[in-house]
Amino acid sequence: MEQKAKVLKDSTVYYKGNKYSVPKKYLGKTLNLKLIDDKLHIYFNTELICVHKLSNKKINYLPEHYREILEDIIKNQDNLEQICNDNLNQLDKLLSY
C-alpha cells in the first residue's frame, strides 16, 4: 500500500490516525508513505528518508528528528540530549494513558 502525505509544522506526517516524524528539512513537502512488513517507509520522491515501526501511539518521533526541532528552541546545547530523552519519555507516558 502506498499513499502521499504532507509534512505538518511539527515535522510529522499522518498515517492511519497516528503521526510519524520526519527530518525538519521536509516541512511542507509531500512525501510518499509505503507500508512494508509492519514498518512505515517514508520517501521524498524516490529517496528513503526514514523508517518507523508501526505503533498505536498517536505521536511517534524518532529521537534524531525531535532533537532537530529542539536545537532551534533550546540555546544550551550541553543538555540537549538529556532534554530530548526526558521529553520523549514523558510524551510516551502521557500517550499511554
pTM score, two decimals? 0.87
pLDDT tens digits for range 26-43? 999 999 999 999 999 999
The dihedral sign for the CA sequence 90, 8, 68, 79: negative
Top-confidence residue, 81 or 39: 39
The DSSP output letter for 37 is: T
Range of the domain at 68: 2-95
For residue 89, give the nearest of 69, 64, 61 by alpha carbon: 61
pLDDT higher than 90, residue 3: yes
Residue 97 in this model has a pLDDT that exceeds 80: no
CB 46 within 8 A of CB 62: no
Domain total in the chain: 1
Can you tell me the distance from the alpha carbon of 23 to that of 48, in angstroms, rounded to the nearest whole number? 12
Q: Give dist(CA 30, CA 12) in Å, integer.
A: 11
